[in-house]
Chains A and B, each alone.
Chain A
Amino acid sequence: MKRDIHSLIQSWLNGDITPADFEQLQDELLHSPEARQQLRHEINLDMVLRDHACSSLDANLTPWVQENPPARNSKSNANPFLRSWVPWAAAAGIAALLTAGVVIRTQRNSLQASAKVEETNQGAAILTRVSNAVWTDQTHSPRSGDTLGTGTFKLASGLAQIEFFSGATLLVDGPAEVEIHSPWKATCHSGKVRARVPPPAQGFVINTPQMEVEDLGTEFGVEVKPAESSTEVHVFEGDVNATPIGSKLVHLSEGEGLRRCNAGITPLKGNRSKDFVCLERMDALTQNRAKTRFAAWKEWKKQYCEDPRLLAYYAFQRSCNWERAADNDAPKVASFCTGGIVGARWTQGRWPEKDALEFKRPGDRVRIRLSGEYEGLTFACWLKVDGLDRKYNALLLTDGYEHGEPHWQILEDGRVMFSIASPPTSDGQTPEAQAYYSPIVFTHSNLGRWHHLAVTYNAISGETTHYFDGRQVSRELPPQQPPGCTVVYGPCEIGNWGLPAAGHEFPIRNLNGCIDEFVIYKNPLNNVELQAMYQAGRQD
């Protein structure tokens, strides 16, 4: 069926046009000047609507744009691009160009980020822990700490603990299929789940194909066997209301159960508690798992420190409580590479036995000094970001910003930025630094948990690659010629910026989060090596 040009243009603008409709749209646009004019008018309208929506949104943006809250402009000055350019124009200067460019993009993206954040925060639950979990859909396997929205989660094997925003906790014993409807409601399509429901979550409902189970503040188990068309519910503590579909409500108390098989409803003794995994068992499993992971990481680290390409390896593992030095475990590097911890406090890392450093206050930092010139680099760290408070949030920055010096930081919108200062040109001008951005990798729903972050840089070609959790997220060549200088460091800081350039617009860049392991190489590593590094160090 042919669609009219108006609806074709709308689909195109909304980004949900089908390939067939797109063909038709192209055809119309090619042959009809009116169609093209209509397209221009609709785009114009879109632009006006977006600009107005953007400007009204500013008022609600405090969490992500703290340092320089956008002025609350009148409608007449509603163009967001314009707003970011005006203060910049006042502070004109070539050196500011790049920074200002970043500001424009950052501001737009931070608006987007917060809009997206609103949407993701509408999740219903958090996957708090998993144990040997294998998900049926490998491409969308959630990790512990993930916010879960509505939808179906198929656990092929292993255990998963889901905490609903209502306060109810589900322990899912794979294979199982659980569908989350809301913080108050889930369906168990198959498998075994145990629900623990504290008083504030009373009224939490688990549906099954044969029964609806409403909790009255208790602990109970549900087992669904689709092959037998059966559902069993067992009450271990407290009371539940069970309503077999098409039948009357049955009130069950502690030690009671009910089985529905096809049309038959049978009372049961609710004494199969041992058959349902409990929180205590989950605790033990998680602890064991953490021990195993930690041991594996220690083993791997031994080998790893032998790599001659290492320039520095800070494991951030303290040897005593008042330790204020961050040891460099790379053996072939002189001792002055030991980092000095300033302000940052020791805290727990990826596992209970592993330490990490917590960076919170503007003064917190680890000072290091690295000598030599290199033809490339790899930075990698295990990082838990608690908030992106600053326009730039430091990972590793050299003091100042002389040519050949790298800066690695997270932007407030959740993208990672790597930049390297360029040498002066032959006529003595300082060109802008080469900066490379990842897509948005940090969002509200993945803050507060451990991630592996890495960047590689080849000083010859200028090629820069960003990695997030072992996965390449962007690869870029410099827009013009390669910078033509080797990488140098000198004094640097992890988690802060030691010596901001005088009069810099954004001198405060302290990180809000924890770092557990920071590695610096003399060369760019490849995809396979970074994936391996992630796998060896992942939390669970």
Chain B
Amino acid sequence: MSEAAPPEHYETFVRLFVSHEGRLRGFVRSLLNNWDSVDEVMQETSLVAWRKFAQFDPDTNFMAWAAAIARFESLKHLRRQSRDKLVFNDDILDLLAEESLEDTEHLEHQRAALSTCLAKLDTRQKDLLQLAYQPGVKFHEVAAQAGKSTQAFYKTIQRLRASLLNCAERQLKQSGASA
């Protein structure tokens, strides 16, 4: 506890944390089974990271350092969950954690590309996606709101997802070629 960094480091910490937050979230989601847990773990991770910030060596990679904390917090969270929940086994968690870190940069480019692709969709498609991904809702409930059967709604969303992923991939290839 007494190791907490002096207050003047606070802004540095916030700046670093904010700039890595997106990557960390994706990383944590790969280990956990829902987004609500991700929120909780990110919360804990931010607090623990700040408490331990004095130990962080500025010459090293903040992402790797924070990801180690996030990984530990995720495991703690998974252990707290009851046994009947579907939790990946440790071997898979290790693999996912390791590869997510290696893949960080690519994933970030993919997110940027996905956002661009998302912006290109028409309003109706955007509305559907917004409906499907509002926080805390379930697919079959929003399907009812959209006036479709769950199955039809699910298929539409799947098609949109696939086209977004394709679009992002094309974009990344193009920018890779031109760079």
Q: Residues on A close to B: CB < 8 A?
A: 10, 12, 14-17, 19, 22, 26, 29-30, 33, 36-37, 39-50, 52-54, 56-57, 75, 78-79, 81-82, 85-86, 88-89, 92-94, 97, 101, 104-105, 108-109, 111-113, 115-116, 119, 425-427, 429, 431, 479-481
Contacts and interface: CB of A to CB of B under 8 A. Distances in A.
A115 B137 contact: yes
**Interface residues of A: mostly helix, strand, loop or mixed?**
helix
B58 interface: no
A113 B136 contact: yes
Contacts of B2: 425-427, 429
A26 B92 contact: yes
B86 interface: yes
Nearest to A17: B86
Given A40-B30, A85-B14, A29 B47 contact: no
13 contacts: A22-B86, A26-B92, A37-B99, A40-B26, A44-B107, A47-B25, A48-B111, A48-B114, A97-B50, A109-B39, A111-B134, A425-B1, A429-B4
B1 A480 contact: yes
A40 B50 contact: no
Interface of B: 1-2, 4, 7, 10-11, 14-15, 17-18, 21-22, 25-26, 29-30, 33-36, 39-40, 42-44, 46-47, 50, 86, 88-89, 91-92, 95-96, 99-100, 103, 107, 110-111, 114-115, 118-119, 129-137, 139, 141, 158, 161, 164-165, 168
Given A29-B96, A57-B135, A81-B18, 15 more contacts: A26-B92, A30-B95, A43-B26, A44-B26, A44-B110, A47-B26, A52-B118, A53-B133, A57-B130, A85-B14, A93-B7, A97-B50, A105-B39, A429-B2, A479-B44
Given A40-B100, A45-B161, A81 B25 contact: yes
Contacts of A81: 18, 21, 25, 42
Contacts of A108: 39, 135
A462 to B, nearest CB: 14
Nearest to B109: A44
**Interface residues of B: mostly helix, strand, loop or mixed?**
helix
A480 B39 CA distance: 20
A89 B11 contact: yes
Contact of A40 (B11, B14, B42, B107): B107
A53 B92 contact: no
B176 to A, nearest CB: 16
Nearest to B30: A43
Given A44-B111, A425-B2, A50 B103 contact: no
